[in-house]
Amino acid sequence: MFSAYHRIGERQFRQRLGLDFEDFAPGQRFRHRPGVTLSQQDNADEALDTLNGAMLHFDAHYAAATEWRRPLLVSTLTLQRLLGLASKTYGQRTAITAFDEIAMNGPLFGGDTLYANSEVLAIDAVGGTVQIRLTGHKPDGAEVARVSCTMQMPRRDDAAMTADEPRFAAYHDAEDGALVEQSGLWFEDCVAGESFVHAPRRSFHSDQVAGQAWRAMELAPRHHDLDWIARHGGHLVVPETQVIAVTTALTTRTFGRVVANLGWRDVCLPHPVFAGDTIEVASTIREPRASRSRPGEGIISVDTTARNQDKVTVLSYSRTLLVYRREAASPYGAAGY
């Protein structure tokens, strides 16, 4: 079993970011989850941000006159998403040292959903590299991309203790022997008093802070006006609501089987977050209890804390979540998860 967590203390766990070099073997097959639905806005952004001059990707009037009849998704967008979708398994890589093949063998358009599969082709024990074949496909199985590449992988940290409990399995077995990625605890797996350090961490980049503030119609100058900030001797401050959003998102790989977030309470922001800061998030399960009205789900209360790179607490809150039970009806099987 490949565990999604390391044990770092009594009832304390830290999420893993991918497998170690020693975990890989030729012939392994992985189905990566989740997938991602791509939009024409994603397509136009990729083309325009990279100065791609092929109007087929962003001019619908022109695309209508081609054999595709609509804007074709940029192949580099597919490539980037495929590698990203596979990062739950290959997230520890230190480098991609070569691409032997990058083939785009089927069209993708705005509104299409992309999934990734991979197979381990070869292992170089001396060089510490793993060669894989990564394929992209639509929900109906139609293949749209095939990529072969070599990744540099770090070796296992002998001091790290994996939490080898079935509830922490990073994969479940498909009928054909492939390993299907999974994440999130079922309601029955949530134990009061257990704590989880979530991964990855998140850094706040200046342009993203300002961009998020603008899109939220946030007018306060401390979030985007560099001249105002300089004249007042301050720093670019991350909006408090953005800190809450990012912190909450970082918990979703542990609490990924949530039906609904029922709300936050006791939200405290004792220290501002500035552009350039990095936060790490940890949560403690406080109170699992049955749902009276929804027998297929349970309710858990969770206390979450975010700390910056100096270990200073920047946010804490309690949250109540509705979580699927293991044996109850859920969308995972029907969606190929």
Of 13, 15, 19, 28, nearest to 157 by C-alpha is 19
**CA distances in angstroms from 137 to 32, 43, 57, 151, listed in the order given:** 11, 17, 20, 22
Of 277, 291, 300, nearest to 189 by C-alpha is 300
How confident is the model at residue 292, as a pLDDT?
87
pLDDT digits (tens, 9 = 90+) for 139-182: 999 999 999 999 999 999 887 899 999 999 999 999 999 999 99
Residue 212 three-state SS: helix
Q: Find out whether the peptide bond into 107 is cis, omega within 30 degrees of 0.
A: no
Domains within the chain, CATH numbers bracketed: 5-38+73-181 (3.10.129.10), 187-324 (3.10.129.10)
How confident is the model at residue 141, as a pLDDT?
94
Q: Give the DSSP H/E element, type plus range, for residue 104.
A: none
Q: What b/e readout covers 233-245, taking b as 16+ CB neighbours within 10 angstroms?
A: eebbbbbbebbbe
What are the structure tokens assigned to 14, written together? 């830290």
CB 180 within 8 A of CB 33: yes
* pTM of the full structure: 0.92
Amino acid identity at 248: T
CB atoms < 10 A from the CB of 157, how many? 9
d(CA 163, CA 7): 5
What are the structure tokens assigned to 127, written together? 């060089």
Q: Would you put residue 111 in left (φ > 0), alpha (ψ -120 to 50) or beta?
A: left
Residue ranges of alpha helices (H) inside 127-259 are 206-215, 226-231, 240-250
How confident is the model at residue 283, as a pLDDT?
98
Residues whose CB is less than 8 angstroms from the CB of residue 268 and which lie 6 or more positions away in sequence, other chains included: 315, 316, 317
**CA distances in angstroms from 232 to 94, 236, 266, 273, 307, listed in the order given:** 41, 11, 31, 17, 26
The dihedral of CA 7, 161, 171, 137: what is its sign? positive
Per-residue pLDDT of the chain (337 residues; tens, 9 = 90+): 999 999 999 999 999 999 999 999 999 999 999 999 999 999 999 999 999 999 999 999 999 999 999 999 999 999 999 999 999 999 999 999 999 999 999 999 999 999 999 999 999 999 999 999 999 999 999 999 999 999 999 999 887 899 999 999 999 999 999 999 999 999 999 999 999 999 999 999 999 999 999 999 999 999 999 999 999 988 999 999 999 999 999 999 999 999 999 999 999 999 999 999 999 999 999 989 988 899 999 999 999 999 999 999 999 999 999 999 999 999 999 999 9
d(CA 63, CA 329): 43
How confident is the model at residue 159, as a pLDDT?
79
How confident is the model at residue 287, as a pLDDT?
87
